[in-house]
Amino acid sequence: MFLAWREIKYSKTRFVLIIGVVVLIAYLVYFLTGLAYGLAQENRMSIDKWDADGIVLADESNLNINMSMFDKEQMEEIEASEKASVGVAPSVVQLENQTSEESKVNITFFGVDKEEFIFPEVIEGEEFNKDKEAIANISLKEEEGFEIGDEVSLAGADLTVEIVGFTDNAKFSVGPVLYINQPTYQQVRASGFGEREEEIISAIVVRSDAEELGDVNIGSDDLELYSISEFISNLPGYTAQVLTFGLMIGFLVLIAAMIIGIFIYVLTLQKSSILGVMKAQGISSAYISRSVIGQTFLLSVMGVFTGLGLTLLTGLLLPAAVPHQYNFIFLLSITALLITVAVAGAFLSVRTVVNIDPLEAID
């Protein structure tokens, strides 16, 4: 390590350039990871907020909650440790006093009952106590300027709801959620599907005390029980998005390792004569090899952690509308992976060191 550090201090410009390349690649990897994780979370936030084990949908819905509709009375047939009904309706809303196209916001209505466990925690304002009141995700305040007391109208329907409170972590399919009570949900649903005599819901969310939902009995051939993980993986575009970003980040990690390895290999070739003299003086190949690996470790650590610091700083400056979130387990894993793979790439140079003939190098 002593030899590696002395060489870095002696050839500052050369090694600063190498570290700069590592910083940029690490910064790109971390930033894309934040975007990928943020987008994935905004697809599923409101589902995770339920803290549930399973979900019951209409058998013909093909795991699409927006297409699932059945009579709420069927909920009585379901046996589970805990259960809650939810009605889901995607819609477009805008503040009552605005008419421009830019003021329209894509949202999803969740019709819920206050007594059931999926009712959201209010972080600002109050819970709804009557029809046509709503609890909105806080992003509508931060990004769209909605405030408590504002009335929002539904596009294509003669219906308005008043925002009485805000909750957090309530997004579904990348859009904010508005929680309303079941009677109001029936009015919202009727605006798109027409009036029906029975009370319609989209899904029944269940909690189970047994493994693999073993204690849940749905009691109907028209319904189907799915685990929450299976439901989330089948959200439109969710799996494709996660796989795309995962492959992209994986290739970037490999590219970063290859770049560091190539730089170190070229530097080792340029120092062949010097290394040959060192070997002629009795310095072992093992010592020189350890110095090369140690040098790669120092370069990768400095570059990767600088990139991580820049990413965290960027996250503080990004606007709320950018779906950028951090998972520190992911950050630590990527940090360890970048450094490990970079050091592994340095073993290409170790082979060169071992094969250097002192007599040929001196000539």
Same domain assignment for residues 156 and 27: no
Pick the residue with more confidence: 95 or 356?
95
Same domain assignment for residues 30 and 75: no
Mean pLDDT of the chain: 84
pLDDT over 70 at 143, yes or no: yes
Where are any strands of DSSP class E within 35-191? 54-58, 70-71, 82-95, 105-112, 124-125, 133-137, 151-154, 160-167, 171-172, 175-181
Q: Does residue 347 belong to any structural domain of this protein?
A: yes
Final residue of a structural domain among 207, 225, 252: 207
Same domain assignment for residues 62 and 198: yes
Give the mean model confidence (pLDDT) for residues 90-108: 84
* 135/81 Cα distance (integer angstroms): 27
* 27/344 Cα distance (integer angstroms): 20
Structure confidence at residue 319 (pLDDT): 81
pLDDT confidence tier of residue 197, bands split at 50, 70 and 90: low
Reported as a single tens digit per residue, the pLDDT across 312-338 is 999 888 887 788 888 888 889 888 888
Domain around 118: 54-207
CA angle 193, 197, 198 (to 5 degrees): 90
pLDDT over 70 at 208, yes or no: yes
| Cβ within 8 Å of residue 189, ≥6 positions away | 87, 89, 111, 200
Q: In the chain, count of helices (H) and strands (E)?
A: 11, 13
Structure confidence at residue 6 (pLDDT): 64
Residue 134 structure tokens: 């709503």
* 237/194 Cα distance (integer angstroms): 29
pLDDT confidence tier of residue 225, bands split at 50, 70 and 90: very high
Q: How many domains, the chain? A: 2
CA angle 159, 161, 166 (to 5 degrees): 155
Reported as a single tens digit per residue, the pLDDT across 30-67 is 998 888 888 888 888 999 999 999 999 999 998 999 89
Give the SS3 label for residue 330.
helix
Q: Does residue 229 belong to any structural domain of this protein?
A: no
pLDDT confidence tier of residue 117, bands split at 50, 70 and 90: very high
Structure confidence at residue 96 (pLDDT): 79
Structure confidence at residue 136 (pLDDT): 95
Pairing of strands 200-201, 203-207: unpaired
Same domain assignment for residues 92 and 180: yes
Same domain assignment for residues 200 and 84: yes
According to DSSP, the residues that pair with 200 across neighbouring strands are 71
Same domain assignment for residues 108 and 192: yes
Same domain assignment for residues 20 and 58: no
Give the SS3 label for residue 218.
coil
Same domain assignment for residues 12 and 79: no
Same domain assignment for residues 284 and 264: yes
Q: Does residue 141 belong to any structural domain of this protein?
A: yes
Structure confidence at residue 5 (pLDDT): 59
pLDDT over 60 at 4, yes or no: no
Reported as a single tens digit per residue, the pLDDT across 233-273 is 988 888 888 888 888 888 877 787 777 777 777 776 776 67
Same domain assignment for residues 177 and 269: no
Residue 334 structure tokens: 């990527």
Give the SS3 label for residue 46.
helix
Q: Does residue 233 belong to any structural domain of this protein?
A: no
Same domain assignment for residues 154 and 65: yes
Structure confidence at residue 39 (pLDDT): 84
Reported as a single tens digit per residue, the pLDDT across 62-91 is 899 989 999 988 888 898 889 999 999 999
Decide: 330 and 33 in contact? Cβ < 8 Å.
yes
Helix or strand (DSSP H, E) at 280: helix 272-280
Structure confidence at residue 15 (pLDDT): 74
Decide: 181 and 52 in contact? Cβ < 8 Å.
no
Helix or strand (DSSP H, E) at 225: strand 223-227
Same domain assignment for residues 64 and 24: no
Structure confidence at residue 244 (pLDDT): 87
Q: Does residue 232 belong to any structural domain of this protein?
A: no
At residue 326, φ and ψ (nearest 5 deg) are -115, 140
* 254/24 Cα distance (integer angstroms): 14
Q: Does residue 308 belong to any structural domain of this protein?
A: yes
